[in-house]
A and B are shown apart, each in its own frame.
Chain A
Amino acid sequence: MNTTLPEMPCQELVEVITDYLEGALSKRDRIRFEEHLAVCAKCREYMEQFRRTIQAVGSVREEDLDPQVRESLVAAFRGWRDG
């Protein structure tokens, strides 16, 4: 696990989390990222919060549709079909 690559400081890690999650880091930086995370509980906490944030943002969808709007759209569809 221990390589001779320069350590990735916390301030750098927090800037590249999305790159890491998207698989966009170079192999070198991915190793630096994972090595830092392995020894830094604060960054692990940050990373965990970042993941929870993404998950939470993904759960805000609200699908309530105004019944009147819905009815008028379906009426337009009917009009096309029968028209």
Chain B
Amino acid sequence: MSALQAGDEAAFERLVDRYHASLLRVARLYVSSHAVAEEVAQETWLGVVNGIQRFEGRSSLKTWLFRILSNIAKTRGVREGRSVPFSALSPEDEGESVDPDRFRSADSERAPRHWAIPPAIWSTEPDERLLAGETRELILRTIDTLPPNQRAAIVLRDIEGFSSEEVRNELGVGETNQRVLLHRARSKVRQALEEYLGEPE
């Protein structure tokens, strides 16, 4: 940070390289299109440039950066009539996160609520395929179709590597709801991967 304040261009470039894609992804949680997210990210960098001298290091650089981003992104989202009330769970955030038909019923005589249709074994070398382009596309597509709350939770926590506390601050949700949203999102991505990687019995 002091390098930045001293005007070190390479330090700024490193920061841009490290965080620009993250800013885009997080901005996209608040605004309607990639183009607007790009504008928000660029505006954020201008905010950084203009604020460098005032930054006192009371928070981490990352926290500061994402705070600038959220303020800009939320304002844009509101202007688009699209403010997302992350703090409330919607009906689609509740109920089971795994299809109940995959389990024996609660009044089954044998093994109630145990697997009826167990998870399909994933093909032998999933780790290689996991990194392959198609799998990556599948994951991104699945995340895109999640309800906004759940999408936000998994993007921040599992893609951006925010801590649970950072996610709670960003979304203004409580600890329990953060876990509910994250769990739901992860469960749906796992289901999509099972359908893609699972070997038929």
A57 to B127, CA, bound (A): 12
Expressed in whole angstroms, the Cα–Cα distance for A81 and B112 within the complex equals: 68
Beta-carbon contact of B119 and A42 below 8 Å: yes
Main secondary structure of the interface of A (DSSP, over half): helix
| Contact sample, A vs B, 23 pairs, CB 8 Å cutoff | A9-B113, A11-B100, A11-B114, A18-B179, A18-B186, A19-B179, A45-B119, A52-B127, A52-B130, A57-B139, A57-B189, A58-B158, A59-B136, A60-B140, A61-B159, A62-B21, A69-B38, A69-B42, A70-B16, A73-B12, A73-B45, A74-B16, A80-B52
In the bound assembly, the distance between CA atoms of A61 and B140 in angstroms comes to 10
Per DSSP, chain B at the interface is helix
> How close is A18's CB to chain B, nearest CB, in angstroms?
4
With A53-B186, A56-B130, A74-B16: A81-B113 Cβ-Cβ less than 8 Å? no
Docked complex Cα distance between A40 and B115 (Å): 10
- Chain B residues in 8 Å Cβ range of A19: 179, 183
CB-CB under 8 A from B17, the residues of chain A are 63, 65, 70
Are B42 and A53 touching (Cβ within 8 A)? no
Pick the residue among A49, A58, A74 that contacts B193 (CB under 8 A): A49
Cα separation A19 to B49 with both chains bound (whole Å): 40
The reply to whether the CB of B121 lies closer than 8 angstroms to some CB of chain A is: yes
| Contact between B186 and A57, CB atoms less than 8 A apart | yes
B contact residues around A12 at 8 Å (CB): 113
Give the chain A neighbours of B100 by CB distance below 8 A: 11
